[in-house]
């Protein structure tokens, strides 16, 4: 047992305390949860320093189960990858909880909210730290459950209730892929311990490529579900039904990050299979582009944000697919911090309720230009890292030629779209207020002043420089912990860095130029069609409904009516009718038997009465009043037993049974 076991245990303890004494602590839940998670964060910092100085730590907790060939230990495994992600998870969670303490004031289900968010965070930390895939999977699902319960927080809204069910089901289907993958890993590696699996994969043990491909793809299906990759992406926008702090948690700290994390965690296994890597890259690329395009067409700010997250996740997945695992994690961290920041700074406006709509113009000057700079950097970030030199040889050495072109197209496409989306999201939230509900109706977008633009440019430049420096260190720090492409440190910053930056700037400019263009201009039909397609989010939700949900339900009802009732049950009922006829025939005998039973019953009542009287006299002779009264009561009870009541017959049955047993025992001697 190590002190690092407290990182998940503290939030769990807080959640448990709130679950048990929630009503007594109503409205005070945050006072318990914030210190717990903040302490976890401090411990994570400790773990980070410890691991970076002394190398990976393995902590054995207890033997989870042992059966046949299965031997599974619950334990924690902290290496460089773990501690970095742990910092993000606990750090962002702490900030979100502090924010939530204010946001949730007066909520009717205050305790429940904080108990669940603490559990949510705790589950994510176990998932990150687990040394065993089964434990990982267990908390992977616990996290799914938390998201379900948190999305249905405003349960009186039918939309929230439906969204929660849908989100969980989409995840449940995908998670089975992971479950299957874990069983496959066990049959292949004969262990579920993560360090052992990684060691086996690194040692170059002969494993058939087809097996690795299959199990990697199974695990990837699970990662797809949690990280909202096409076609399981539709849950993330639905999850926006949750209170804003939960969205911040899901998008930044927990939940969606589990997918890329798992891929990176198992990267030494994944790189053994080229085909699986190709599939991962393709799914990631499609997700990144599709979601970026959808997010451009959405009118709802929340949905836009959700699709922008999906797009970023797609890019992370894509990076995993091409072997740039370190870059994927770097992107994950940067995106996590950014999204948390974004949600929290816009949360009140997004809630769109009685709180202030947007920030006042004078307030936006400082904080908003910082945000704008971040937005610009974020949109350009992934390719920035990839093209900054470290991964220059990526597309050539990967062995499939199309990857080069794909990397460029996907990377820059995403950059362009993200830049536009973020620009629009910011202007909508900060400069208009939520459209249509602002004080005095819709406010015309205010153009940027030159002072603004310079400020943004300076801050963006500064941020990029900082990022590049951090990246240098980060790549060095993490490259030993993950598989995949070696990061080439010798190559200096390349001039390619400018390309994604330029594209991001272009996207921004285009968005700015089109900011208030009306729809009066005629548009070609194909463009319209494309627009409608993306506006409806590719009709994925409708397809789930029409092709999966409704047919399943219809089939279930049909089977129940036609097969279960119509065929199987009818067969039995006809047998029943038959035996009823036979029974009527035997009715006469039955009556006779009944008569006999009744007379036995009456007889034993006599015995019972007699017994009661005996006890009574014995009691009176003892003359202890209280004792006598209670025994008298029991005697009275026996006397009151009337013939032919059920308990009476039962008594007879038992007495007869005991007598019979004694009788047989006596004979047997």
What residues numbered 54-73 form the site for another protein, per CB under 8 A? 62-70
What whole-number distance in Å separates Cα of residue 245 and Cα of residue 117?
A: 9
Q: Residue from 105, 469, 491, 556 that binds another protein (CB under 8 A)? A: 556
The kind and range of the H/E element at 87 are helix 80-103
Q: Any contact of residue 172 with another protein (CB under 8 A)?
A: yes
Segment 403 to 442, residues that bind another protein, using CB under 8 A:
none
Nearer Cβ to another protein (212/481): 212
If binding means CB under 8 A, how many residues of this protein chain bind another protein? 80
Q: Any contact of residue 614 with another protein (CB under 8 A)?
A: no
Q: Residue from 41, 137, 416, 471 that binds another protein (CB under 8 A)? A: 137
DSSP structure class, residue 204 = T
Choose the binding region for another protein from 3-11, 169-177, 300-308, 387-395 (rule: CB under 8 A): 169-177
Q: Any contact of residue 666 with another protein (CB under 8 A)?
A: no
Buried b (16+ CB within 10 A) or exposed e, 85-123: bbbbbbbbbbbbbbbbbebbeebebbbbbbbbbbbbbbb
What whole-number distance in Å separates Cα of residue 183 and Cα of residue 215?
A: 9
Q: Kindly state the smallest distance separating residue 562's Cβ from another protein, in Å.
A: 11
Q: Any contact of residue 189 with another protein (CB under 8 A)?
A: no
What whole-number distance in Å separates Cα of residue 46 and Cα of residue 603?
A: 82
Q: Residue from 190, 300, 564, 590 that binds another protein (CB under 8 A)? A: 564
Segment 577 to 606, residues that bind another protein, using CB under 8 A:
579
DSSP string, 427-473: IIIIII-STTTSTTSPPPPPPPPHHHHHHHHHHHHHHHHHHHHHHHH
Q: Which residues, in sequence order, are CB contacts of 429 under 8 Å at separation 6+?
A: 301, 346, 349, 350, 358
Q: Any contact of residue 668 with another protein (CB under 8 A)?
A: yes
Q: Kindly state the smallest distance separating residue 84's Cβ from another protein, in Å.
A: 25
Choose the binding region for another protein from 162-170, 237-245, 258-266, 336-344 (rule: CB under 8 A): 162-170
Q: Residue from 142, 282, 470, 510 that binds another protein (CB under 8 A)? A: 142
Nearer Cβ to another protein (261/471): 261
Q: Kindly state the smallest distance separating residue 106's Cβ from another protein, in Å.
A: 16
Q: Which residues, in sequence order, are CB contacts of 79 under 8 Å at separation 6+?
A: 51, 55, 56, 57, 481
Binding mask 9-48 for another protein (x = CB under 8 A): ----------x-----------------------------
What whole-number distance in Å separates Cα of residue 271 and Cα of residue 484?
A: 6
Q: Kindly state the smallest distance separating residue 268's Cβ from another protein, in Å.
A: 23
Q: Kindly state the smallest distance separating residue 589's Cβ from another protein, in Å.
A: 17
Segment 63 to 122, residues that bind another protein, using CB under 8 A:
63-70, 109, 112
**Strand pairing report for 70-78 and 57-67:** antiparallel
R_g over Cα of the chain: 34
Nearer Cβ to another protein (111/297): 111
Contact 148, 23 (CB under 8 A): no
End-to-end Cα spacing for the chain: 60
Q: Any contact of residue 547 with another protein (CB under 8 A)?
A: no
Q: Any contact of residue 575 with another protein (CB under 8 A)?
A: yes
**Rounded to whole angstroms, what are the CA distances from 356 to 295, 360, 430?**
25, 9, 11
State the CB neighbour count (10 A cutoff) for residue 578: 10
Nearer Cβ to another protein (108/446): 108
Q: Kindly state the smallest distance separating residue 588's Cβ from another protein, in Å.
A: 20
Nearer Cβ to another protein (218/240): 218
DSSP structure class, residue 511 = H
Q: State the alpha helices, DSSP H only, in 623-645.
A: 625-640
């Amino acid at each position: 047992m190590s002190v690092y076991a407290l990182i998940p245990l503290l939030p769990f303890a807080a959640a448990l305390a709130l679950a048990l004494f929630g009503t007594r602590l109503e409205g005070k839940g945050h006072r318990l949860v914030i210190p717990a998670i903040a302490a976890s964060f401090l411990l994570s910092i400790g773990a980070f320093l410890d691991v970076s100085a002394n190398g990976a730590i393995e902590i054995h907790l207890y033997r989870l189960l042992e059966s046949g060939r299965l031997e599974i230990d619950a334990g924690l495994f902290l290496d460089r990858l773990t501690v970095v992600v742990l910092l993000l998870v606990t750090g962002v969670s702490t900030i979100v909880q502090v924010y939530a303490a204010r946001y949730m004031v007066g909520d009717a289900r205050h305790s429940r909210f904080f108990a669940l968010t603490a559990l949510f965070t705790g589950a994510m930390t176990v998932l990150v730290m687990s040394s065993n895939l089964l434990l990982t999977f267990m908390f992977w699902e616990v996290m799914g459950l938390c998201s379900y319960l948190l999305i249905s927080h405003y349960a009186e809204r039918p939309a929230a209730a439906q969204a929660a069910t849908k989100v969980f089901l989409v995840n449940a289907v995908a998670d089975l892929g992971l479950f299957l993958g874990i069983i496959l890993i066990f049959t292949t590696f004969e262990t579920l311990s993560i360090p052992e699996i990684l060691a086996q994969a690194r040692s170059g043990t002969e494993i058939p490529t087809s097996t690795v491909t299959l199990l990697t793809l199974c695990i990837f299906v699970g990662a797809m579900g949690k990280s909202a990759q096409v076609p399981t992406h539709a849950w993330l926008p639905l999850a926006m039904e949750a209170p804003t702090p939960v969205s911040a948690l899901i998008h930044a700290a927990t939940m969606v990050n589990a997918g890329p994390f798992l891929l990176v965690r198992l990267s030494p296994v994944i790189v053994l299979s080229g085909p699986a890597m190709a599939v991962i890259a393709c799914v990631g690329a499609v997700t990144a582009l599709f979601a970026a395009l959808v997010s451009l067409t959405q009118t709802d700010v929340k949905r836009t944000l959700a699709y922008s997250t999906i797009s970023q996740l797609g890019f992370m997945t894509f990076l995993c697919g091409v072997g740039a695992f370190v870059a994927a994690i770097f992107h994950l961290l940067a995106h996590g911090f950014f999204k948390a920041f974004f949600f929290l700074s816009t949360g009140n406006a997004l809630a769109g309720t009685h709180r202030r709509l947007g920030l006042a113009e004078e307030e936006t000057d400082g904080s908003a230009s910082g945000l704008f700079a971040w937005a610009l950097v974020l949109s350009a970030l992934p390719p920035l890292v990839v093209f900054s030199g470290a991964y220059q040889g990526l597309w050539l050495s990967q062995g499939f030629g199309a990857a080069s072109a794909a990397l460029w197209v996907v990377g820059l496409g995403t950059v362009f779209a993200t830049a536009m989306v973020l620009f629009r999201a910011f202007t909508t939230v900060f400069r208009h207020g939520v459209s249509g509900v602002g004080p005095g109706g819709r406010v015309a977008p205010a153009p940027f002043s030159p002072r603004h633009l310079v400020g943004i440019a300076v801050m963006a430049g500064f941020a990029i420089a900082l990022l590049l420096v951090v990246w240098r260190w980060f790549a060095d720090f993490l490259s030993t912990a993950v598989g995949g492409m070696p990061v080439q440190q010798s190559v200096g910053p390349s001039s390619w860095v400018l390309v994604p930056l330029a594209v991001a700037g272009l996207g921004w400019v285009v968005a700015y130029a089109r900011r208030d263009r009306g729809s009066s201009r005629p548009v070609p039909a194909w463009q319209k069609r494309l627009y409608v397609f993306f506006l409806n989010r590719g009709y994925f939700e409708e397809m789930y409904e029409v092709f999966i949900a409704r047919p399943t339900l219809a089939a279930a009802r049909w089977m129940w009516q036609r097969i279960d009732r119509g065929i199987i049950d009818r067969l039995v009922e006809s047998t029943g009718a038959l035996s009823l006829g036979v029974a009527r025939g035997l009715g006469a005998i039955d009556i006779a038997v009944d008569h006999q039973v009744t007379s036995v019953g009456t007889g034993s009542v006599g015995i019972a009465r007699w017994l009661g009287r005996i006890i009574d006299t014995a009691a009176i002779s003892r003359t202890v009043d209280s004792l006598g009264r209670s025994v008298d009561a029991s005697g009275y009870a026996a006397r009151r037993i009337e013939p032919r009541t059920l308990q009476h017959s039962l008594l007879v049955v038992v007495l007869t049974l005991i007598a019979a047993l004694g009788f047989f025992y006596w004979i047997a001697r």
